[in-house]
Amino acid sequence: MPFPPADYEKLFSSLSKQFDLELKYIFLYDAVKDSSKEQAQYISQQKFHSGIRSLAPKWPINLRTRKLKYRTVGKRFVAEEKGVDVLLVVDAIKKALTKEVETVIILSGDADFVPMVEFVKTLKVETINLHLFSGSSTELRQACDKHILIYFTDSSLLLR
């Protein structure tokens, strides 16, 4: 995940106040590591998930996960994330088709989401790409109706 749970709290608050957005649903997606293959990373990830879930009383958070897939290369395991992006696409399309949302905000820099954005826009749903500058896809930003840059100062998270 791009940043710690406390910064997600700041992010949700800023989106609500600065951009006057009602966050009806917040879906966060992650591929769960295998504790037998990556024990330290698994423990760290579970702490992160716990921190995200602790925000649920205030925010409508739904943490969606799939097990991380691995392949063997020599004597090492190499992680291959499978299915998390598809979960995001399916959730966004379902919410758009059922008119449960007016806006879909995608926190990603991955151009693979462009076809989903284009489809959701045909349903008259606004799309916003929320992104960090590094690793952000110009194609995704341009496909969305708007884009919002997340940046950090020494003490705060800012959006513009």
Query: Is 5's pLDDT higher than 60?
Result: yes
CATH of domain 5-159: 3.40.50.1010
Of 46-50, 122-126, 150-154, which range is least confident? 150-154
Position 106 confidence tier, pLDDT thresholds 50, 70, 90: very high
Structure tokens at 97: 């088709």
Phi and psi at residue 118, in whole multiples of 5°? -60, -40
Per-residue pLDDT tens digits for 54-94: 999 999 999 999 999 999 999 888 888 778 999 999 999 99
pTM, full prediction: 0.89
C-alpha 25/C-alpha 91 separation (Å) is: 10
Query: Is 2's pLDDT higher than 70?
Result: no
C-alpha 99/C-alpha 102 separation (Å) is: 7
Tell me whether residue 139 is exposed, middle or buried, using C-beta atoms within 10 angstroms of its C-beta: 0 to 12, 13 to 18, 19 or more.
middle
According to DSSP, the β-strands at 26-32 and 61-67 are parallel
Per-residue pLDDT tens digits for 34-51: 999 999 999 999 999 999
Per-residue confidence (pLDDT) for residue 36, from 0 to 100? 93
